[in-house]
C-alpha cells in the first residue's frame, strides 16, 4: 500500500546503508567496550549512565508516544523537536535544485528555511480568506500547482494546523480533499505542534487515525508546547512504517540525549499526561481572560480565532506596541512581516502572574 513512498525518496537513498552505531548494531552484554565511551563521568559522579551513548531510537519512548497518539510503535520516529523532522523530510525526499516543498503562507517559517538550506525550491500557495474571513487552504490552487509540469516537482506539502502564526484550525474537510487530490504524487505533512489545544470534538484531535486511510500523510508532533518541555527538544514524526524507515536512514546516530529520553517518558506517563491536561485547562482559562480583556481595548482592530496557546491580534501600530511592552520588560512578537499579517502581534499565554504583568503594560 505504501510502495509509492519508497519511490518518492531521493534515488540515492534506496541502497544507502545507514551508519550502524554501537547502540544500533549491538545489544545485551554486561561489559560495554564497543563504543569508545569513558568508564564514568568525572564531573557528575552521581550520574552513572551519562558516560553512555543513548539509544538510537528508544523503544520505550516511541511506544509511550504511540500509545498516547493511538498509533503503532513502528509508525513513530522520535527526534530533536519537530524541526528535525522537517529537516529529515526535506533531506530524504527533495533533490536540491530540481524538487520542491509547498507551503501555505502565512505559516511556520522553518518549512521554507529548511528547504532553502538544503537547496530545494519553495512553492507558495497562500491561504485564502473564507466567507467568515478566516484564512484557509486553497486546495484547488494547491492541486493546480502540483499538476504544473513546467515547475519544480513538489514532493512535500507542509500544512500547519492549528496554525502558527494564525492560531486557527485548518478545515478538516479541506485537509481530506487535499490528501485525496494529492494521492501518491507527494507527501502531505501536517504539523500539529498545538494539537492538544483543540477541543475534544474537533476532527483534528483524532487525525493520527487518518494514517490508516492516507499513507501519503505525515503528522508532526512535539512535547514543547502543551507538555512544557521546550528545553528538552523532543518531537515525533508519525507515518507509515515505510516512511519511518527512510527517515531512520538519515537521522543522526544518537538524536536524543539520555536526559531528554527520561524526561519525555515521564511526561508521557499516566501522571505526566494528567498533569499536562491540568495545566492545559489553566492555559485555556488565561487565554479566555486575555481574549476578554483585549475585546475592551480600543486599539485592538481584530482578534483572530485561536486554538493554540497564543493569540494573534491586529493593531494600529504593531512595532510601537511591541517596543512599549519591551521597555517595561514584557516581550510579545511582531508578526507584521508575514504575508497578509501587516500590523499584527502575537501574544503567548503565560502564567497568571505573567498575564497580570502583560495586562498592566498594555495600553487601555
Please say if the pLDDT value at position 215 is more than 70.
Answer: yes
Look at residue 357 in the predicted model and tell me its pLDDT: 98
The region of weakest confidence among 24-28, 75-79, 146-150, 283-287 is 24-28
Look at residue 33 in the predicted model and tell me its pLDDT: 87
Nearest-angstrom CA–CA distance, 216 and 102? 15
Domain boundary assignment for the chain: 3-21+56-268, 272-361
Q: 32 is written with which cell numbers?
A: 560495554
**Residue whose entry in the numeric block shows the C-alpha cell 486511510:** 213
Tell me the pLDDT band of 30, cut-offs 50, 70 and 90: confident
Residues 6+ apart with CB under 8 A from 111: 86, 101, 103, 122, 158
Nearest-angstrom CA–CA distance, 323 and 327? 6
Q: Which helix (H) or strand (E) holds 327?
A: helix 318-327
pTM strictly above 0.85: yes
CATH of domain 3-21+56-268: 3.40.640.10
Neighbours of 105 (CB within 10 A): 18
Nearest-angstrom CA–CA distance, 95 and 11? 9
Tell me the pLDDT band of 1, cut-offs 50, 70 and 90: very low
Q: Are 158 and 102 in contact (CB under 8 A)?
A: yes
Nearest-angstrom CA–CA distance, 29 and 43? 26
Look at residue 251 in the predicted model and tell me its pLDDT: 96
Question: pLDDT tens digits for 254-269?
Answer: 999 999 999 999 999 9
Q: What is the mean pLDDT of residues 270-276?
A: 98
CA-to-CA separations, 80 to 44, 58, 336, in angstroms, rounded: 24, 13, 29
Question: What percent of the chain is modeled with pLDDT above 90?
Answer: 87
Look at residue 20 in the predicted model and tell me its pLDDT: 85
Tell me the pLDDT band of 151, cut-offs 50, 70 and 90: confident
Q: Tell me, what DSSP letter sits at residue 163?
A: -
Question: pLDDT tens digits for 300-329?
Answer: 999 999 999 999 999 999 999 999 999 999
CATH of domain 272-361: 3.90.1150.10
**Mean pLDDT across the chain:** 95
Q: 15 is written with which cell numbers?
A: 541502497
Question: pLDDT tens digits for 156-174?
Answer: 999 999 999 999 999 999 9
Question: pLDDT tens digits for 5-14?
Answer: 999 999 999 9
Fold: same for 3-21+56-268 and 272-361: no
CA-to-CA separations, 117 to 8, 121, 317, 359, in angstroms, rounded: 20, 10, 33, 40
Tell me the pLDDT band of 18, cut-offs 50, 70 and 90: confident
Amino acid at each position: 500500500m505504501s510502495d509509492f513512498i519508497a519511490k518518492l525518496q531521493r534515488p540515492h537513498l534506496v541502497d544507502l546503508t545507514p551508519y550502524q552505531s554501537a547502540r544500533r548494531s549491538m545489544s545485551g552484554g554486561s561489559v560495554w567496550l564497543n563504543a569508545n565511551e569513558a568508564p564514568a563521568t568525572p564531573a557528575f559522579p552521581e550520574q552513572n549512565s551519562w558516560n553512555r551513548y543513548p539509544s538510537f531510537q528508544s523503544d520505550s519512548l516511541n511506544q509511550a508516544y504511540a500509545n498516547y497518539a493511538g498509533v503503532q510503535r513502528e509508525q513513530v520516529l522520535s527526534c530533536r523537536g519537530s524541526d528535525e523532522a522537517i529537516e529529515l523530510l526535506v533531506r530524504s525526499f527533495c533533490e536540491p535544485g530540481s524538487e520542491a516543498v509547498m507551503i501555505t503562507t502565512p505559516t511556520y517559517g522553518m518549512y521554507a528555511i529548511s528547504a532553502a538550506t538544503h537547496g530545494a525550491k519553495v512553492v507558495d500557495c497562500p491561504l485564502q480568506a473564507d466567507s467568515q474571513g478566516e484564512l484557509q487552504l486553497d486546495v484547488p490552487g494547491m492541486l493546480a500547482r502540483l499538476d504544473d509540469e513546467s515547475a519544480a516537482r513538489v514532493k512535500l506539502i507542509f500544512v500547519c494546523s492549528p496554525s502558527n502564526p494564525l492560531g486557527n484550525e485548518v478545515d478538516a474537510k479541506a485537509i481530506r480533499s487535499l490528501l485525496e487530490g494529492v494521492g501518491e504524487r507527494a507527501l502531505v505533512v501536517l504539523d500539529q505542534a498545538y494539537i492538544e489545544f483543540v477541543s475534544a470534538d474537533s476532527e483534528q484531535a483524532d487525525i493520527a487515525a487518518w494514517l490508516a486511510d492516507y499513507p501519503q500523510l505525515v503528522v508532526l508532533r512535539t512535547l514543547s508546547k502543551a507538555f512544557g518541555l521546550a528545553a528538552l527538544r523532543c518531537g515525533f514524526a508519525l507515518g507509515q512504517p515505510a516512511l519511518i524507515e527512510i527517515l531512520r536512514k538519515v537521522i543522526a546516530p544518537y538524536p536524543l540525549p539520555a536526559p531528554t529520553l527520561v524526561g519525555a517518558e515521564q511526561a508521557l506517563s499516566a501522571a505526566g499526561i494528567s498533569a499536562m491536561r491540568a495545566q492545559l485547562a489553566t492555559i485555556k482559562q488565561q487565554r479566555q481572560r486575555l481574549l476578554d480583556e483585549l475585546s475592551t481595548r480600543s486599539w485592538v482592530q481584530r482578534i483572530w480565532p485561536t486554538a493554540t496557546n497564543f493569540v494573534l491580534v491586529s493593531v494600529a501600530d504593531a512595532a510601537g506596541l511591541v517596543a512599549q511592552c519591551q521597555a517595561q520588560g514584557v516581550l510579545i512578537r511582531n508578526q507584521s512581516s508575514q504575508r497578509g499579517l501587516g500590523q499584527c502581534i502575537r501574544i503567548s499565554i503565560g502564567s497568571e502572574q505573567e498575564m497580570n504583568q502583560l495586562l498592566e503594560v498594555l495600553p487601555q
